[in-house]
Structure 1
Amino acid sequence: MPPYALLAIAIVAEVIATSALRASEGFSRWVPSVIVVAGYGLAFYCLSLTLKSIPVGIVYAIWSGAGIVLISMVALVLYRQVPDLPAILGLGLIVSGVVVLNLFSKMQAH
């Protein structure tokens, strides 16, 4: 499987696991707790495979940037946590940083 596809799976799995973490209510609810463990397990497995061919700095920038933005959108939809202007600006800066790193950095995938 292409490394960026594995990274996308890892990001989605991590976002699902993080969303379920809130729903698990401190691991007191069984079904969300299982989703948390399975989601993080899949996320880190796919992330480890990604690191075989993409530099860790690039992987982590994409992983964290995309994860932050996606979990913010999930929080908006599921939990009605509306980001204010500083939050939106901060998210924009994160996305901008990931784009700059990927377009202009000399760190290249092998």
Structure 2
Amino acid sequence: MRDVIDRLLDPDAVPGTLPPAPGELETLTLQLRGHLALLLPEVEETAKRLPRESIPRYCALACVGEARERLRAEPSRRFGGPAGHARRLARTLNALCDHWEALAVTAP
């Protein structure tokens, strides 16, 4: 998951890497959507095991809500078209991965 995220968010970090071509961008977007669909329920279930007043629970569930909104959204020319949409999905997946890693340590 992090490899796909890095490909979209930081292509300059890998020497010789070019920004994704339109066909590749579509593939990466589909991968991001699939990763989000897999990780969303895992983060949500794990977060819900934490106490209701838990800050990590609140933050993770907020991220889950945002991820669902991002999955419903369509690319818009106003917000960077397909590339901007893919980058927003990548940032959301990155945040969910961070929450998943943190929850794996703290959840019962």
Asked if TM exceeds 0.5, the reply is: no
TM value normalised by structure 1:
0.38
TM value normalised by structure 2:
0.38
Determine which structure has greater relative contact order: mean sequence separation of CA pairs < 8 Å that are 6+ residues apart, divided by chain length. Answer: 2
